[in-house]
Amino acid sequence: MRVLAIDHGSARAGCAISDPTGTIARPLGVVEPPDPRAVAELAAEHQAELVIVGLPVSLSGAEGPQAAEARAFRDALAVILDLPVETYDERLTTRLAERSARAGASAPPDALAAAHLLESYLQAHARASDELASQAGEAGDLHAPARASDEVAGQAAEPAAPSAPKPGGSAGEAEEPPE
C-alpha cells in the first residue's frame, strides 16, 4: 500500500511517500504554505492509498495547539480526498530529521521529518501485522493476515471523523476512532 505522510507545520508541510509495497519511505519535499488541495494533488500524483498526518504530542503524550492544527488539517484533507486520512504520533521525528541532515541527507528538514514519521508508521504496521499473523498461525486461523492489517490500522493511527457527503459523491469512508 502506498502511503503519503505529512509533517504539518504552520509555515510548511513536509511530505514523504512510501513505495507500493509500503516498506520504503522517501522524502518528497515541502508544501509551502501547507495547503490541503496541494497535498491532495500530491496524493493523486503518487497514487497514495492512505494519508497520514503527523500528530505532535509531548513525550508525556500531552497535546497542545499544534496537535489541534494537525487534526484540523487532517479533517480538511478528509473532506477533499476519497481515501483514508489518519493522524499518527510524530514524537521525535524532528530530532531524527536533524540527525539525518547532519549525516548528509539533502532533502528539506520537514520532508525528512515526514519520511521518519512514515518509516515509524510502516514499521509499526508491519510489526503488528506480523505479530497478529503469528498468533493466528499458532491458532490455525488462515484468515488472520487480512484481519491483522485491518486491526493494525485502527491501533496506532487515528482516522479522520466521517466527512459530509461530497457533491456528486458519498460520505467519506473513514472509520470512527477507537475508544
* Contact partners, residue 95, CB within 8 Å, separation at least 6: none
Domain boundaries, the chain: 3-159
What is the pLDDT at residue 141?
52
* Contact partners, residue 52, CB within 8 Å, separation at least 6: 3, 4, 5, 6, 85, 86, 87, 88, 117, 118, 121, 157
Per the omega criterion (within 30 degrees of 0), is the bond before 33 cis? yes
Q: Is 18 exposed, middle or buried (0-12, 13-18, 19+ CB in 10 A)?
A: buried
Q: How many CB atoms lie within 10 A of CB 30?
A: 20
Residue that the C-alpha cell 491458532 belongs to:
139
Residue 111 in contact with residue 15, Cβ under 8 Å?
Answer: yes
Spell out the per-residue pLDDT of the chain, length 179, in tens.
999 999 999 999 999 999 999 999 999 999 999 999 999 999 999 999 999 999 998 888 888 899 999 999 999 999 999 999 999 988 766 666 667 666 777 788 899 999 989 998 998 888 877 777 777 776 665 554 444 444 444 444 566 655 444 444 433 333 333 43
Q: Span 3-159: which CATH code?
A: 3.30.420.140
Instruction: Give the predicted TM-score (pTM) of the model.
Output: 0.72
If phi > 0 it is left, if psi is from -120 to 50 it is alpha, else beta; for residue 83 that is beta
What is the pLDDT at residue 175?
38
What cell was used for 130?
506480523
Read off the amino acid at residue 55. L
Read off the amino acid at residue 171. A
What is the pLDDT at residue 147?
43
- Report the alpha-carbon distance of residue 77 to residue 143 in Å, rounded: 32
Residue 125 in contact with residue 22, Cβ under 8 Å?
Answer: yes
